[in-house]
């Protein structure tokens, strides 16, 4: 047998080790904990670039910053990325018949979700706020954006998904083949695990968030969850969560406890998970039947788990809840 020179063996070992190099970071950004794990030779560079990108996007899109693009937005020309994300949001509003609506800002404010001073608003206050709530109050023409009826924009239901897509761009730029990024409920599983297997992403049990409801095996997909347990407060023995039905002005009562969207497009997955939460299980099932390629896991108040047939063979139930195919 021909001998392999020692130098080649060493080179092979060095390249195998360097491609398994792991760089990780946990940061607090966009009001949530973000967990980034990247594998490969350039993983360190990728992680630092991702961190600065996330901080940059937070300053652009977060209502927390008084000077952010989104707080100071008015009719006319706006930042190209703000325009891009708002256009995507309006497209999802159209497709979901207004279940997703970025003009819910005055309602979020009324319920105290911005300053975390939670209150149940009065009927008149809600009625008043609803006057400026409609995605139809925003449109684009050759002069740029047009904002009617004092509408104010909240990108909380889509910004993290957009950020995860930007993260993927950075991973690709650095030639990264394996990474998992969790932007507070917005997971993106890039490529394969370092061992060549698919990523396993857990979906929390909304009735006990320390436990899993299901796990899904994915690759190159966003796995985005909107849940009633994620941001909520209790008053007079009732729970109020942060996903508002733009038609009523109240936290949505569609019968859903959590919904997870699995989709290659992270921005779309984020907006749709919020929309599906408002739409409820049956409207979500209809939407998904018309849009193959997008998968979802819906967990209802009756403790039932519904999943799309595209997840067959990739999903496993880790709870004692009943699991059913949503298309049946
Ligand atoms: P998510 O956790 O992605 O479902 O997004 C929830 C966040 O989206 C909230 O904290 C609000 O900032 C915003 N939001 C709430 N209700 C809606 C809605 N119906 N349409 C669009 N954004 C919403
Ligand atoms: Mg969302």
Task: List the residue whose alpha carbon is closest to atom 1 of ligand 1.
Answer: 157
Ligand nearest to the CA of 272: 2
**156 C-alpha vs ligand 1 centroid, how far in Å?**
5
pLDDT tens, residue order, the chain (328 aa): 455 555 554 444 444 444 579 999 999 999 899 999 999 999 999 999 999 999 999 989 887 766 667 777 888 999 999 999 999 999 999 999 999 999 999 999 999 999 889 999 999 999 999 999 999 999 999 999 999 999 999 999 999 999 999 999 999 999 999 999 999 989 999 999 999 999 999 999 999 989 999 999 999 999 999 999 888 788 888 888 999 999 999 999 999 999 999 999 999 999 999 999 999 999 999 999 999 999 999 999 999 999 999 999 999 999 999 999 998 7
> The tokens of 26 are what?
């946990």
| Other beta carbons within 10 Å of 10 | 10
- Name the residue of 30, 96, 100, 154 whose CB sits within 8 Å of the most ligand 1 atoms, as the mutation to test its pocket: 154
Closest atom, ligand 1, to C-alpha of 270: 3
Ligand nearest to the CA of 61: 1
Predicted model pTM: 0.92
Strand ranges across the sheet with 199-205: 199-205, 208-218, 315-317
pLDDT of 11? 45
173 by DSSP, 3-state: which?
helix
Q: Is 108 in the pocket of ligand 1 (CB under 6 A)?
A: yes
pLDDT of 66? 66
Contact 244, 104 (CB under 8 A): yes
Q: Compute the distance between CA of residue 301 and CA of residue 257 in angstroms, rounded to an integer.
A: 6
**215 C-alpha vs ligand 2 centroid, how far in Å?**
19
Q: Compute the distance between CA of residue 159 and CA of residue 137 in angstroms, rounded to an integer.
A: 20
Ligand nearest to the CA of 258: 1
pLDDT of 31? 87
Q: Compute the distance between CA of residue 62 and CA of residue 276 in angstroms, rounded to an integer.
A: 23
> The tokens of 44 are what?
């360190």
pLDDT of 209? 86
pLDDT of 14? 45
Q: Is 232 in the pocket of ligand 1 (CB under 6 A)?
A: no
Q: Compute the distance between CA of residue 328 and CA of residue 322 in angstroms, rounded to an integer.
A: 14
**288 C-alpha vs ligand 2 centroid, how far in Å?**
16
**196 C-alpha vs ligand 1 centroid, how far in Å?**
35
**217 C-alpha vs ligand 1 centroid, how far in Å?**
26
């Amino acid at each position: 047998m021909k001998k392999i020179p020692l130098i080649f063996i060493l080179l092979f070992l060095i390249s195998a080790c360097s491609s398994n190099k792991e760089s990780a970071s946990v940061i607090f950004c966009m009001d949530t904990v973000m967990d980034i794990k990247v594998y490969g030779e350039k993983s360190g560079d990728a992680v630092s670039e991702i961190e600065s990108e996330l901080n940059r996007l937070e300053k652009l899109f977060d209502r927390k910053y008084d000077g952010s693009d989104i707080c100071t937005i008015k009719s006319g020309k706006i930042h190209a990325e703000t325009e891009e994300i708002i256009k995507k949001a309006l497209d999802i509003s159209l497709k979901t018949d207004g279940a997703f609506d970025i003009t819910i800002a005055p309602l979020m404010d009324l319920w105290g979700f911005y300053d975390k001073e939670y209150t149940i608003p009065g009927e008149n206050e809600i009625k008043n706020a609803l006057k400026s709530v409609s995605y139809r109050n925003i449109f684009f023409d050759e002069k740029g954006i047009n904002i009617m009826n004092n509408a104010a924009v909240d990108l909380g239901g889509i910004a993290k998904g957009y950020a995860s897509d930007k993260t993927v761009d950075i991973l690709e730029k650095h030639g990264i083949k394996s990474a998992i990024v969790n932007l507070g409920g917005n997971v993106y599983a890039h490529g394969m695990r370092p061992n060549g297997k698919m990523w396993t992403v857990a979906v929390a049990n909304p009735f006990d968030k320390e436990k899993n409801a299901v796990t899904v095996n994915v690759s190159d997909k966003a796995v985005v969850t909107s849940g009633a347990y994620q941001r909520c407060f209790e008053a007079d023995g009732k729970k109020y969560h942060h996903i508002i039905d733009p038609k009523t002005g109240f936290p949505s009562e569609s019968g859903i406890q959590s919904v997870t969207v699995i989709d290659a497009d992270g921005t779309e997955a984020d907006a749709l998970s919020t929309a599906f939460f408002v739409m409820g299980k049956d409207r979500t099932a209809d939407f998904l039947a018309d849009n193959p390629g997008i998968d979802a896991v819906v967990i209802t108040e009756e403790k039932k788990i519904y999943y799309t047939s595209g997840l067959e063979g990739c999903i496993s139930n880790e709870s004692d809840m009943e699991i059913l195919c949503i298309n049946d």
